[in-house]
Amino acid sequence: MRTGSSRGSLRVLGIDPGLTRCGVGVVDVAPDRSAQLVHVGVVRSDADAPIEERLAVIAAGLRAVLEAHGPDVVAVERVFAQHNRQTVMGTAQASGIALLIAGERGIPAATHTPSEVKAAITGYGNADKRQVQTMVARVLRLEELPKPADAADALALALCHAWRGAPAASGRSSSPLTPAQRAWADAERLARR
């Protein structure tokens, strides 16, 4: 991974792929694993448009985010089996577009499963959407939960990737838990009292 030397942090673009709504989130993550929101949004395509037009809209939207924010790395949700074949196909196609665009620009890309992301953000691989949104808001010091869920998931992907690959800051605890996982564990301990 290359780091943005002018920023002193790693800039990660997280992408929650989808044909109708493709979540995008950009965060700067410092060596101490603290994070700052740079951009969050959703690239939308018309569900009634032909597939090639929908993919072109997704590609244009992702290219615009890459151009505007210059991430060091791209993290994309790994496609997993679902019961709805149509949804899986659309997600896989959007994921392919995201990985292709990163490759075109020579930006390293990685994929993470939803359970990997949930575990990194909340400490629990089966966390629900609300728990993920809450922890993302807490980590990024947001006044409101990021919405829609696609955008929150994109931010969670970006944080997951940075934390999984970022070394612990010197002089800090070598705990295997991310800041979000520590915060979640602390909150649960307090709740049990």
Residue 94 lies inside a defined structural domain of this protein? yes
Residue % of the chain over a pLDDT of 70: 79
In this prediction, residue 36 has a pLDDT band, given cuts at 50, 70 and 90, of very high
Annotated ligand binding at 46? The verdict is no
- Using the 8-state DSSP alphabet, how is residue 191 labeled? H
Q: Could you give the number of structural domains in the chain?
A: 1
Residue 3 has pLDDT above 50, yes or no: no
The pTM of the full predicted model, rounded to 2 decimals, is: 0.81
pLDDT tens-digit map of 155-183: 999 999 999 864 333 333 334 455 555 56
Region 146-151: what's the mean pLDDT? Answer: 90
Among 25, 17, 6, 18, smallest CA distance to 162 is for: 25
Tens-digit pLDDT profile for residues 84-133:
677 788 889 999 999 999 999 999 999 999 999 999 999 888 888 899 99
pLDDT of residue 154: 97
- pLDDT interval class at 8 (50, 70, 90): confident
Residue 125 pLDDT:
83
Q: Which domain holds residue 128?
A: 10-192
* Residue 153 pLDDT level (bands cut at 50, 70, 90): very high
Query: Mean pLDDT across the stretch 57-72?
Result: 98
Does residue 45 lie within any of the structural domains? yes
Enumerate the active-site residues. Answer: 16, 77, 150
Q: For residues 93 and 141, what is the distance between their CA atoms, to the nearest angstrom?
A: 33
50 within a domain of the structure (yes/no): yes
In a domain, 5, yes or no: no
Bridging pattern class, strands 21-29 and 10-16: antiparallel
Whats the size of the chain, residue-wise?
193
pLDDT at position 82 is 60
Question: Measured between alpha carbons, how far is 100 from 17 in angstroms, rounded to an integer?
Answer: 13
Q: Is 28 annotated as a binding residue?
A: no
Radius of gyration over alpha carbons of the chain, in Å? 16
Residue 150 known to bind ligand: yes
Identify whether 96 is part of a domain: yes
Residue 101 located in a structural domain: yes
Residue 57: other Cβ atoms inside 10 A: 18
What CA–CA distance (Å, rounded) separates 35 from 9?
9
Q: Is the pLDDT reported for residue 37 higher than 80?
A: yes
- Helical spans, DSSP H, in 47-84: 51-69
- Say which CATH number the domain at 46 has: 3.30.420.10
Element (H, E) at 154: helix 149-165
Q: Is the dihedral of CA 144, 149, 151, 152 positive or negative?
A: positive
Percentage, residues of the chain above pLDDT 90: 66
Helix (H, G, I), strand (E, B) or coil at 136: helix
DSSP 3-state assignment of 47? coil
